[in-house]
Amino acid sequence: MKPLYDLAVIGAGPAGVAGALTASFAGLDVVLIDAAPRPGGQYFRHLPQGFNAQAPGALHHGLDGFTRQWETLRARADVLLGHKVWAVERAEGTVTVRCLEGDREERPRTVTARGLLIATGAHDRPLPFPGWDLPGVLTAGGAQALLKGNLVVAGRKVVVAGTGPFLLPVAAGLAEAGADVRGVYEANGRLGLARHPLLAAGKAGEALGYGASLARHRVPYRGRHAVIAAHGEGALTHVTVARLDSAWRPVSTRTVECDTLAYGYGFVPQLELPVQLGCATRADADGSPVVTVDGGLRTSVPGVYAAGESTGVGGAVLAEVEGRIAGRSAAADLGRRVPPLPRLSRRRDRLAAFAKALLEAYPVRPGWQGWLRDDTLVCRCEEVPLSAVREAQDLGAIDARSVKLLARPGMGWCQGRMCGYAVACLAGEDPAAPRRPIAQPIRLGDLAAPTRSPLEG
Amino acid sequence: MNQPYDLVRARPEPEFEISVDGAPVPVIPGQTIGAALHGAGIRSWRTTRIGARPRGLFCGIGVCFDCLVTVNGSPSLRACLTEARPGDRVSTGARAGQVGPGGRAGDGDGTDGGKTVNGR
């Protein structure tokens, strides 16, 4: 461990690992930090050693390449796994990263560096609907994490729903792992991207693979369908599936028995840390806030870079390319000789154009708001029903912030990470960049205590 | 169900046990408490403080805080992130997820005597 690194990288997913490795090859002293006990982020989530998996790649597309980068990086840079970052600060050209080490007996740790690469990824974007808080209703990413990280199949009879191409690997993974997948319900058109030129250029094979897997397991894949209600006493027993019109208003409904629903309507980039540092944000193609970056993945704050989902949701391949570009920029900005590599930038442009096309092909359409009833919880933590949100609006709350102040959605444990998008939509605005000065819960004692660097162990 | 194990050709180490309200739940070394419970068919392990609604895993990746659990007396741990250890005693009866002495994250308005804070 060093008292001052050239570059700290937060996030051990494809963007962070590629960025850290590239910066290290370019001559920087690098430290990589991640909250999880194993590398990979969400996409390349690793199984614990205890499984002795001989073929871990069966659960991931492209795992071998990631693993090679990870093994190389571990030999060249310092890696701090199991370190949750709760705050970052920057003063006089030095970035201070404040972490909590460990999953139970947390110890405060501080890392300092001249530059910072933020590669914190994204989480699922759930929409509220009647029954979404019943046990057995999971986010698609949650079902995926159970399988990839724990070899637990989320349920016996599973429905997969929401929108976007991510539903396919989730459903295929569950079916391959033995679940009876009762159906995949895509709220947008099923063939949203079939004609996109880039699909032919690379992603087609992957998509066809999932399609073949679903066909082999006789899993129906329906476009313009959604789960609009979940039912059960204390746990999920069945869902209401609706055929939708183009605005997502239900046209007809039927009931599907299941013990598990895995669903998601896109992703929310995790922006707490760049917002803490004052990095400028912009609205992405779907209206979500993302970090503004230049062609070298530099944010508006000198010495701070962002790569992967935080600059716009685009998947693991784009994330890796962005990580490499960011690592090169960080090295160049600290005076290392980094020859230009225009090919990499062109690759990023192509992949980013594809990501934008995906966001446009799988939007969230306003009809979902009609699925809610007065007593449907909008905020799970504070148990705020739709009626309370409407009441706040009747009292004069004209934006999401005043709805939050009057009715409390977004004020509980998750701090609006689950309901923030929905509350913004209900208030008639795009979601704002999150202002959370503390990115992870921390005990007051730890907050008050002087922090130690890992050096002082 | 052996299929996920076959898929990755897993040769898991011997299971150990944790106790959940006194009942044994098997764990493969490295699994989280949330995954072990969910895999054992336990779908909820706390109730909410207003509507007493049952809650278990939802986001599964540490973001939603629905799966809070008390382990060996330590309240408010995210089950989906907390790796199980042999002999862990998990209690679900209490209305876990509420802030109390030694609690972890704070209710947003900080008026309920919590000892901890959470960013807003």
Instruction: Concatenate the DSSP letters of all residues of A249-278 into one string.
Output: -EEEEEEEE-SEEEEEESEEE--HHHHHTT
| Cβ of residue A34 closer than 8 Å to a chain B Cβ | no
A159 and A274 together in one domain: no
Concatenate the DSSP letters of all residues of A380-446 into one string: TTTTEEHHHHHHHHHTT--SHHHHHHHH-TT-STTTTTTTHHHHHHHTTSPPPPP--S-SS-EEHHH
Which of B9, B55, B63 is closest, CB to CB, to A54? B9
Mean pLDDT across chain A, nearest whole number? 94
On whether residue B33 sits in a domain, the answer given is: yes
Model pLDDT, residue B93: 63
On whether residue B68 sits in a domain, the answer given is: yes
A131 and A246 together in one domain: yes
Whether the CB-CB separation of A393 and A403 falls below 8 Å is answered with: yes
On whether residue B106 sits in a domain, the answer given is: no
On whether residue A349 sits in a domain, the answer given is: no
Model pLDDT, residue B3: 86
- The reply to whether residue B71 touches residue A53, judged by beta carbons under 8 angstroms, is no
On whether residue B74 sits in a domain, the answer given is: yes
A-contacting residues in B 29-88 (Cβ below 8 Å): 29-32, 35-36, 38-39, 43-44, 48, 50-51, 53-66, 68, 71, 74, 77, 80-83
A22 Cβ contact partners less than 8 Å away, ≥ 6 residues apart: A323, A324, A326, A327, A328, A331
- The reply to whether residue A103 touches residue B82, judged by beta carbons under 8 angstroms, is yes
Domain count, chain A: 3
Model pLDDT, residue A194: 57
Inform me whether the pLDDT recorded for B99 exceeds 80.
no
Looking at residues A40-48, what average pLDDT do you find? Answer: 95
Task: Report the predicted TM-score, pTM, of the whole model to 2 decimal places.
Answer: 0.93
Looking at residues A60-75, what average pLDDT do you find? Answer: 94
A115 and A147 together in one domain: no
On whether residue B20 sits in a domain, the answer given is: yes
- The reply to whether residue A137 touches residue B8, judged by beta carbons under 8 angstroms, is no
CB-based burial of residue A113 (10 Å sphere; 0-12 exposed, 13-18 middle, 19+ buried)? buried
A131 and A188 together in one domain: yes
Predicted confidence (pLDDT) per residue in A124-135, tens digit: 999 999 999 999
On whether residue A422 sits in a domain, the answer given is: yes
- The reply to whether residue B65 touches residue A272, judged by beta carbons under 8 angstroms, is no
φ/ψ of A225, rounded to 5, equals: -130, 150
CATH number of the domain at A407, please: 1.10.10
Looking at residues A317-342, what average pLDDT do you find? Answer: 97
Task: Find tokens 């959470």 and name the residue.
Answer: B118
Pick A381 or B105 by higher pLDDT.
Answer: A381
- The reply to whether residue A154 touches residue B1, judged by beta carbons under 8 angstroms, is no
CA A204 to CA A276: how far, in whole Å? 39
Predicted confidence (pLDDT) per residue in A417-427, tens digit: 999 999 999 99
| Cβ of residue B4 closer than 8 Å to a chain A Cβ | yes
Which alpha helices (DSSP H) does B8-57 contain, by range? 33-39
Chain A hits for B47, Cβ within 8 Å: none
| Cβ of residue A59 closer than 8 Å to a chain B Cβ | yes
Chain B hits for A380, Cβ within 8 Å: 55, 58, 64, 66
Selected residue of B6, B31, B95 to mutate for chain A interface (largest A Cβ count, 10 A): B31
Model pLDDT, residue A148: 95
On whether residue A345 sits in a domain, the answer given is: no
Distance from CA of A203 to the nearest CA of B (A): 23
B-contacting residues in A 387-446 (Cβ below 8 Å): 408, 410-415, 417-418, 435-439, 441-445
On whether residue A344 sits in a domain, the answer given is: no
On whether residue B109 sits in a domain, the answer given is: no
Whether the CB-CB separation of B86 and B17 falls below 8 Å is answered with: yes
Looking at residues A106-132, what average pLDDT do you find? Answer: 97
Inform me whether the pLDDT recorded for B113 exceeds 50.
no
CATH number of the domain at B57, please: 3.10.20.30
A100 and A30 together in one domain: yes
**Domain housing A401:** 373-450
Looking at residues A190-219, what average pLDDT do you find? Answer: 73
Pick A367 or B114 by higher pLDDT.
Answer: A367
* Kind plus residue range of the DSSP H or E element containing A215: helix A204-216
CATH number of the domain at A153, please: 3.50.50.60
Distance from CA of A293 to the nearest CA of B (A): 25
Q: How many CB atoms lie within 10 A of CB A430?
A: 15
Inform me whether the pLDDT recorded for A205 exceeds 80.
no
| pLDDT band for position A1 (cuts 50, 70, 90) | confident
Predicted confidence (pLDDT) per residue in A253-276, tens digit: 999 999 999 999 999 999 999 999
Distance from CA of B23 to the nearest CA of A (A): 20
CA distances to A5, A22, B70 from A327, in Å? 14, 5, 41
Nearest residue in A to B33, CA atom: A150
Q: How do beta strands B16-20 and B89-91 pair?
A: parallel
Q: How many residues does chain A have?
A: 457
Inform me whether the pLDDT recorded for A4 exceeds 90.
yes
**Domain housing B31:** 16-91
Selected residue of A89, A101, A134, A150 to mutate for chain B interface (largest B Cβ count, 10 A): A150
CA A146 to CA A291: how far, in whole Å? 29
Which of B35, B38, B105 is closest, CB to CB, to A413? B105
B-contacting residues in A 242-261 (Cβ below 8 Å): none
Domain count, chain B: 1
On whether residue B6 sits in a domain, the answer given is: no
A226 and A251 together in one domain: yes
